[in-house]
């Protein structure tokens, strides 16, 4: 097989034709600032609000509850810091915030930031499959809890959280619930009422729209103060001239996944399941992380014992397959991803964990090729490890510029 195979959809999804066409059409129209009072501005405002309606349909929510942001990271920051600011703006001292131990850094770092300005932060543990125990959440809630933030689906393992039970608890306690649905959106409809959440983050580039735009759905009654201050755009919730062009692409992607998500998710899940089954047969000792839990149908977090994940990812890339590691490293030393560490995965196993994330364009032929190639490369690498342990010559070294990185890196 000569072409390259893209299996890193959780990092970013390829731009959909519908999104490209929508942006090209928007580019060919005269553009005004949506806040301008003239006809150009009016035209842009109409386009922006049309896009907002299409994105809101993903949440089955009224469009005025959707705030456009620059992406999932900003949506998470706005949800957490905006909720905290609304809390203190009501004359209360800094309160308490709760998040799970497997959240994306966009959530985690926002919570740690709040700690530096006087907030209390409870990090909820997860079980071996990466799930929060709702009973732990019930114990963590207190009279000054201002927000609970739990993701819908994990970016590294695809594991889904028990959101219905979590939402029942937060509703009963009168505490707003933020759900980072960046990975779940477009892989089954995110319906605001069904999730029972009060704030939901999504990101355009994870559903086949352009990068640089995302959205936060905010229930009308949920208190939120702006983080970005300036003009009064987005109903005073996020200042800055709105990106009409990107919104057109985001909306087109949202329309596509809204129509096809269920059907596509079923086909992708069947491919993923077959891939895992065949790899389990061919790779002795292979571990599928989170296998015991409900998971996104497109994601596989695979531990190949005894094989370094960074080298494996590079060798797979050289063989034409784009996959990713399941661990982040910091200067000087590889450390396990915080997600796998929270699940109790041992350091050595985490350093042997890769992530394969499929998308709608992947084919049976591509998966056939992957299940041939991955075990062959893994066997080659473990032979190399045994040889170098017995101080024999190592396998041919990697080409210059393709050595494992030692820079800090996150798993997107």
Enumerate the active-site residues.
329
Give the distance from CA 51 to its chain's centroid.
Answer: 22
Give the burial string for 151-188 (b: 16+ CB within 10 Å, else e): bbbbbbbbbbbbbeebbebbeeeebbbbbbbbbbbbbb
Which residue number, 120 or 409, has a Cβ lying nearer to ligand PLP? 409
Contact at 8 Å (CB) between 375 and 282? Answer: yes
- Note whether 104 binds ligand PLP by CB under 6 A: yes
Identify the residue among 22, 97, 151, 304 touching ligand PLP (CB under 6 A): 151
Which residue number, 203 or 334, has a Cβ lying nearer to ligand PLP? 203
Instruction: Show the tokens assigned to 70.
Output: 């620059």
Q: Which helix (H) or strand (E) holds 179?
A: strand 177-180
Give the burial string for 11-30 (b: 16+ CB within 10 Å, else e): bebebbebbbebbeebeeee
The secondary structure of 132-176, three-state, reads: ECHHHHHHHCCCCEEEEECCCECCCCCEECCHHHHHHHHHHHCCC
From 117-125, 136-144, 175-183, 333-341, span contacting ligand PLP (CB under 6 A): 175-183
From 71-79, 224-232, 249-257, 258-266, span contacting ligand PLP (CB under 6 A): 71-79
From 65-73, 163-171, 226-234, 307-315, span contacting ligand PLP (CB under 6 A): 65-73
Identify the residue among 106, 296, 314, 340 touching ligand PLP (CB under 6 A): 106
Token pair 């571990």: residue: 287
Identify the residue among 226, 359, 360, 412 touching ligand PLP (CB under 6 A): 412
CA 319, 323, 325, 331 dihedral sign is positive
- Note whether 73 binds ligand PLP by CB under 6 A: yes
Contact at 8 Å (CB) between 408 and 330? Answer: yes
Q: C-beta of 209: minimal distance to ligand PLP in Å?
A: 10
Identify the residue among 65, 76, 198, 366 touching ligand PLP (CB under 6 A): 76
Identify the residue among 203, 298, 324, 334 touching ligand PLP (CB under 6 A): 203
Residue nearest to ligand PLP (CB): 72
Contact at 8 Å (CB) between 364 and 334? Answer: no
Identify the residue among 182, 253, 351, 358 touching ligand PLP (CB under 6 A): 182
- Note whether 198 binds ligand PLP by CB under 6 A: no
Give contact residues for ligand PLP (rule: CB under 6 A). Answer: 71-73, 76, 104, 106, 151, 155, 180, 182-183, 203, 205, 214, 412
């Amino acid at each position: 097989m000569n072409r390259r195979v893209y299996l890193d959809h959780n990092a970013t999804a390829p731009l959909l034709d519908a999104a490209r066409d929508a942006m090209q059409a928007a580019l060919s129209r005269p553009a005004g600032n949506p806040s301008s009072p003239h006809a150009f501005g009016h035209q842009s405002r109409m386009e922006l609000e049309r896009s907002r309606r299409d994105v809101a349909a993903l949440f089955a929510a009224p469009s005025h509850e959707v705030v456009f942001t620059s992406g999932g990271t900003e949506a998470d920051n706005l949800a957490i810091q905006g909720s905290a600011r609304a809390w203190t703006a009501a004359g209360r001292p800094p309160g308490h915030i709760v998040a799970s131990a497997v959240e994306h850094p966009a959530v985690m770092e926002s919570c740690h930031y709040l700690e530096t300005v006087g907030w209390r932060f409870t990090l909820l543990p997860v079980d071996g499959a990466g799930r929060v125990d709702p009973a732990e959440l019930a114990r963590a809630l207190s009279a000054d809890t201002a927000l609970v933030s739990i993701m819908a689906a994990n970016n590294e393992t695809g594991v889904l959280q028990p959101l219905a039970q979590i939402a029942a608890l937060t509703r009963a306690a009168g505490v707003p619930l933020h759900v980072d649905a960046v990975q779940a959106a477009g892989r089954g409809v995110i319906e605001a009422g069904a999730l029972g959440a009060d704030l939901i983050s999504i990101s355009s580039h994870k559903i086949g729209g352009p990068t640089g735009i995302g959205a936060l759905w905010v229930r009308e009654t949920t208190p939120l103060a702006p983080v970005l201050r300036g003009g009064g755009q987005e109903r005073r919730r996020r200042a800055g001239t709105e990106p009409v062009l990107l919104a057109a692409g985001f909306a087109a992607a949202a329309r596509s996944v809204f129509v096809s998500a269920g059907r596509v998710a079923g086909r992708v899940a069947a491919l993923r399941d077959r891939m895992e089954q065949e790899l389990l047969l061919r790779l002795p000792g292979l571990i599928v992380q989170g296998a015991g839990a409900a998971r996104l149908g497109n994601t596989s977090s695979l531990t190949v014992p005894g094989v370094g994940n960074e080298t494996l990812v590079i060798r797979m890339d050289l063989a034409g397959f784009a996959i990713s590691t399941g661990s982040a490293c910091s200067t000087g030393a590889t450390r396990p991803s915080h997600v796998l560490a929270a699940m109790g995965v041992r350091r050595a196993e985490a350093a042997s964990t890769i992530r394969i994330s499929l998308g709608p364009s992947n084919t049976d032929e591509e998966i056939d090729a992957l299940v041939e190639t991955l075990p062959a490369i893994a066997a080659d690498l473990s032979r190399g490890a045994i040889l170098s342990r017995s101080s024999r010559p190592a396998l041919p070294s990697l080409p210059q510029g393709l050595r494992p990185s030692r820079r800090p890196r996150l798993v997107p």
